[in-house]
Amino acid sequence: MKTNCINREKLVGIPLGRIILLLFFVWAAIPGQLQGAEPDAAALLDHVIFTMNPENVKAIMTQTITSSSGDERTFRYESESGGAGEFSLMRYLEPSRVKGNALLLTDFTDNIWSYNARTNRVRRLASNAKKMKFEGSDFTYEDMGSAKVWKEDFTVSMGEKDRLQSELCQQLILQPKARANSSYSKIILWLRETDHFPIQLDYYDKNETFLKSLYLEDIRLVEGVLTPFTMRMHHHLENSETVMGYESVTYDVNFPKNYFREGNLKK
């Protein structure tokens, strides 16, 4: 791909051996699926991580939680994310119960700070708190974090090919490494065969029980980035559901240096 950008004139005078070597490295860097070969699991995971974690994002999001009894709660918040998901800052806009409250997640949700606007207090949460439900929803803090942790904390293997919502999908199976601090024993990613974009994630708890599924729907291209406008998490055991959606989103944003720090929770 990068060869397109190389000026032909500059190639003149370079020894042929070097050009072949350069072409080899460029070819090796291209994901397998683009070369026509069967992709391996690690390459697919890299592709998923790259697709799901743009460098910078700024969005207004809504989150609607529907409990098993049918009770509904809706939150609206501003979300900012940088470093391809390494940092996240969320400020609640609605409802008034949580208005002004904010959350800062750094190091891929390993560090969590919670700001309560009513008491003007910032409280640091231990990393195990990422297993807690996010505002009582079906998402945990861990689910809200970057997919990048999958690469470090999980082993990845190829699953079956199967049809899902009339789309042929490739399953990718993630299992946490022994040292990983995860609530799950297994996560199955369903990647649609056409572009390997995930459309469903199945979560299994530590007892291998099928716990919940995340459905990524209404996928649109925004500023060149595939964006699921609706993310629906269904808890199979509790029969509850949380729907997160974008009201607005942009990837064309830059955050100042050291923007994702505790002091900015109150801003």
Q: Provide the binding-site residues for another protein, judged by CB under 8 A.
A: 65, 67-69, 71-75, 94-97, 99-100, 107, 110-111, 116, 118-121, 123-129, 131-133, 136, 181, 183, 205-206, 238, 240, 257-258, 261-263, 266-267
Q: Closest CB to another protein among 128 and 250?
A: 128
Q: Considering Cα of 154, then 156, then 160, then 164, what sign does the dihedral take? A: positive
Minimum distance from residue 124 beta carbon to another protein (Å): 5
Minimum distance from residue 112 beta carbon to another protein (Å): 10
In whole angstroms, give the CA distance from residue 194 to residue 192: 6
Question: Residue 8 — φ and ψ, nearest 5°?
Answer: -60, -35
Q: Which residues contact 144 (CB under 8 A, 6 or more apart)?
A: 88, 105, 109, 134
Helix (H) or strand (E) holding 21: helix 16-29
Minimum distance from residue 153 beta carbon to another protein (Å): 13
Q: What is the 3-class SS of 177-245, one letter each residue?
A: CCCCCCCEEEEEEEEECCCCCEEEEEEEECCCCEEEEEEEEEEEEECCEEEEEEEEEEECCCCEEEEEE
Q: Closest CB to another protein among 116 and 175?
A: 116
Q: Closest CB to another protein among 213 and 227?
A: 213
N- to C-terminal Cα separation, the chain: 42
Q: Closest CB to another protein among 41 and 132?
A: 132
Q: Closest CB to another protein among 38 and 262?
A: 262
Minimum distance from residue 31 beta carbon to another protein (Å): 32
Minimum distance from residue 140 beta carbon to another protein (Å): 8
Minimum distance from residue 237 beta carbon to another protein (Å): 11
Q: How many residues appear in the chain?
A: 267
Q: Closest CB to another protein among 16 and 126?
A: 126
In whole angstroms, give the CA distance from residue 39 to residue 57: 28
